[in-house]
Chains A and B, each alone.
Chain A
């Protein structure tokens, strides 16, 4: 029997997912457990495995398509079976036909009941979401005049770029020389706002320079597709796009600034050492310095509630519990899972949960529901030797704490210089929500708690 494979729903908040890779093609035989395709939410990547055995009879979406959850993606069955009934595109067609005929039949009766004009469900988007909508006339003109349509401001219906937009762009935007145009558009280099040619035209030399610059940057991301290629075109993953948008949004909409301080880490280092020695005997987790900081934050921040809050322009949501966002570095990019109710959890619980969250982020199996809802975020670059930095706030949160590495500092004790281990803390906060002094006070309290960690534990 032919069985459709649907796009799973990964968490309540996810409306659609993007198919990033097909591992099978029409006609392939699959066994249970074979990976059919890989897909992404805006936060994580998943593999969809075959749950039945058979032949891939039909595939309805291509790589790059954004597919609404619970929509049929492909069909597995015995060769020769019909798949038409599963094709979501047919369904839409059928639905709209049906509604049209329904309309007819109800308009026949004399009673003039207002019939809600049922608009046909929008066809599942078959094209990738980022494709530029442009009229053929406008595209033609753009090609002939050498403007970069990516800079056009669409004024046509449904956000379509039309001829006048290209004419406007020719006046204001970058112009590409005829010779440079095709490589400029095809090479995947980032759009340029001007070049070194006549009147700022983008020339072949500019494109060549752009390509070699991109190649340097791209070499960090992906293996080159062709070994002989000078550069690799690296499509942004969904996660990267989300990060890009979120970071830019964060920095462009908030009034962020960072306070830096450090604290004497003697006590927490000793504490950790002790735990390390006794953890097996006591059945404790391998508690890390970061866990200790998460714990201290969860116990300190409720006295500074403006930092455990969401800033929503005309109001603030000030939380009574601490849901800690924890920045996790993964292969796919930065992910921030949430450790809910940290203020109610023991250090050991926090440690265990933080590890579990990080692990499922690494694997890409994290539920999207665990990737939101944070009230404050902690990010740690200490392991990479960073001594201070400017973390970027995860909106609509009002602050983020950056944890730095431990360095040896000197201080004067009774006329003598003594060394002590100092750990850096970098707090970025949104000055729209919080002023400098209260933010500094939070840091001061946090520092006190960390320097007297056993006392904090005793509380």
Chain B
């Protein structure tokens, strides 16, 4: 039997692509070697958020005095937190499986490898079985980068060096935790384990944390976490990992940080090896599959979506990319746009951004204007954030007077940011946004406030 589409990988790109394809009437097969839901559902977005919410409740209980609440004997029971996390994951994975079924997607468990082409289409091997389809969607995602630092491999084998997979299943809270890499994943894990009681040290090679986040905002975030007791070692390079400590170099000097556990979170790389791409000649560029704006690879009817194409490494990007691929498969014109993809750090306070930062706008030579205001312009923010020092920044392209970027730090930012994304994507001008009614009192009003500063 020939399928219309074989999807390799059951993460956000794969499962959503399969659902949409099935819904559109394509005979679809999905191959997943581990767990449906991929990194995002099983060992990424969702479990981390479950943990962070538990930490937030705990923090609210512990630091409630500012709001007139005193709680005695608040306890974070890590085992129960993990248990609940597993329940959340199970519920959601079950939901995805049900959706796949509802959309008539056949799911095969096992490792898929592209074997070649025949007159019917492309052949994919899973164990001893071979499946054929007219089209392929490659959605094999990404995996953590493990640097060749002495001691890291042995540490992983022995279980004291962890990746996102293991850390989300730790049975006990380590007394000390060194996180190598101050990006989104590292910061979120730091946030949880800091609340849960670990002594957390973040070692970052750059002079700032949180990657490409607006520099002012990442500094505010760092200060917040320094206050909570996290130590940041910037401009620092890990040179060796030993049982119990991490050796790093900074300004030519060597230091040691105490570490019961070490989390490696220096980045992720697309999974492009061992899946048979070479058997049909799919082009790989700088370690990721090269696709055009429609998600097409260089090989006819072979598409790729999600982390494997190396563009943005976010689950919601993966969703949309998969949809673009499927739309093009069924003859519907659609292209992927990356100019309004929100990104969120689910720390406490949250950070959320969309569009150009001042840094990227400058690089692109955009003539822009910024409004930068305190979150305290929002009544609800003041009511709910004693001593909060969040800010909201909006960037406006001067030529068109349109919004091109929005950046904020402060809780609920994650839920607000999509609104700014819509404004950017539809190219609303300052004067258009001024006409929008925001619910009051909410934190999202901050966008309106910022816009009126321009």
Q: Which residues of A contact B (CB under 8 A)?
A: 177-180, 183, 194, 196-198, 200-201, 203-204
Cα A183 to Cα B333 in complex, Å, equals 25
Contacts of B402 in A (CB 8 A): 177-179, 204
Are the C-beta atoms of B427 and A204 separated by less than 8 Å? yes
Cα A196 to Cα B427 in complex, Å, equals 12
Interface of B is mostly: loop
* B296 → A minimal CB distance (Å): 16
Are the C-beta atoms of A196 and B400 separated by less than 8 Å? no
Contacts of B429 in A (CB 8 A): 178-179
CB interface residues, B 392-419, toward A, < 8 Å: 397, 399-402
Most central of B399, B425, B427 by chain A CB within 10 Å: B427
* A193 → B minimal CB distance (Å): 11
Q: Which residues of B contact A (CB under 8 A)?
A: 333, 335, 337, 397, 399-402, 425-429, 432
Are the C-beta atoms of B425 and A179 separated by less than 8 Å? no
* B281 → A minimal CB distance (Å): 29
Given A183-B400, A204-B400, A204-B402, check contact A177 B427 (CB 8 Å). yes
Instruction: List the 6 shortest-distance A-B pairs measured between CB atoms, nearest first.
Output: A177-B427, A179-B402, A179-B427, A179-B400, A178-B429, A178-B432
Are the C-beta atoms of A196 and B432 separated by less than 8 Å? no
Closest-by-CB residue of A relative to B403 is A179
Contacts of B400 in A (CB 8 A): 179-180, 183, 204
Cα A183 to Cα B429 in complex, Å, equals 13
Are the C-beta atoms of B333 and A198 separated by less than 8 Å? no
Are the C-beta atoms of A200 and B333 separated by less than 8 Å? yes
Are the C-beta atoms of B427 and A203 separated by less than 8 Å? yes
Contacts of A194 in B (CB 8 A): 333
Contacts of B399 in A (CB 8 A): 204
What are 15 inter-chain pairs, A to B, with CB distance below 8 A? A177-B402, A178-B402, A178-B429, A179-B401, A179-B427, A194-B333, A196-B335, A196-B337, A197-B337, A197-B425, A197-B426, A198-B425, A201-B426, A204-B399, A204-B402
Closest-by-CB residue of B relative to A204 is B400
Cα A204 to Cα B399 in complex, Å, equals 10
Contacts of A204 in B (CB 8 A): 397, 399-400, 402, 427
Contacts of A201 in B (CB 8 A): 426-427
Closest-by-CB residue of B relative to A194 is B333
Contacts of B335 in A (CB 8 A): 196
Closest-by-CB residue of B relative to A176 is B427
> With contacts A178-B429, A179-B402, A179-B429 known, what are 15 further pairs, Cβ within 8 A?
A177-B402, A177-B427, A177-B428, A178-B427, A178-B432, A179-B397, A180-B400, A197-B337, A197-B425, A197-B426, A197-B427, A201-B426, A203-B427, A204-B397, A204-B399
Cα A194 to Cα B332 in complex, Å, equals 14
Cα A143 to Cα B429 in complex, Å, equals 13
Cα A191 to Cα B123 in complex, Å, equals 45
Cα A194 to Cα B402 in complex, Å, equals 20
Closest-by-CB residue of A relative to B432 is A178
Are the C-beta atoms of B337 and A180 separated by less than 8 Å? no
Contacts of B427 in A (CB 8 A): 177-180, 197, 201, 203-204
Cα A178 to Cα B427 in complex, Å, equals 6
Are the C-beta atoms of A179 and B337 separated by less than 8 Å? no
| In-complex Cβ contact of B428 among A178, A183, A200 (8 A) | A178
Contacts of A200 in B (CB 8 A): 333
Contacts of B401 in A (CB 8 A): 179
Contacts of A177 in B (CB 8 A): 402, 426-428
Most central of B335, B400, B425, B428 by chain A CB within 10 Å: B400
Cα A28 to Cα B427 in complex, Å, equals 50
* A204 → B minimal CB distance (Å): 5
Cα A287 to Cα B285 in complex, Å, equals 64
Cα A196 to Cα B397 in complex, Å, equals 19
Cα A201 to Cα B426 in complex, Å, equals 8
Cα A196 to Cα B426 in complex, Å, equals 11
Contacts of B426 in A (CB 8 A): 177-178, 197-198, 201
Closest-by-CB residue of B relative to A196 is B335
Cα A258 to Cα B428 in complex, Å, equals 51
Contacts of A179 in B (CB 8 A): 397, 400-402, 427-429
Most central of A178, A183, A203 by chain B CB within 10 Å: A178
Cα A197 to Cα B397 in complex, Å, equals 17
Most central of A194, A196, A198, A201 by chain B CB within 10 Å: A198
Cα A27 to Cα B356 in complex, Å, equals 56
* A449 → B minimal CB distance (Å): 52
* A369 → B minimal CB distance (Å): 50
Cα A255 to Cα B241 in complex, Å, equals 79
Cα A203 to Cα B428 in complex, Å, equals 10
Closest-by-CB residue of A relative to B333 is A200
Contacts of B428 in A (CB 8 A): 177-179
Cα A201 to Cα B333 in complex, Å, equals 13
Closest-by-CB residue of B relative to A183 is B400
Contacts of B397 in A (CB 8 A): 179, 204
Contacts of A180 in B (CB 8 A): 400, 427
Contacts of A183 in B (CB 8 A): 400
Most central of B333, B397, B401, B426 by chain A CB within 10 Å: B426
Most central of A183, A194, A201, A203 by chain B CB within 10 Å: A203
* A359 → B minimal CB distance (Å): 50
* B430 → A minimal CB distance (Å): 10
Cα A197 to Cα B333 in complex, Å, equals 12
* B292 → A minimal CB distance (Å): 13
Contacts of A178 in B (CB 8 A): 402, 426-429, 432
* B361 → A minimal CB distance (Å): 14
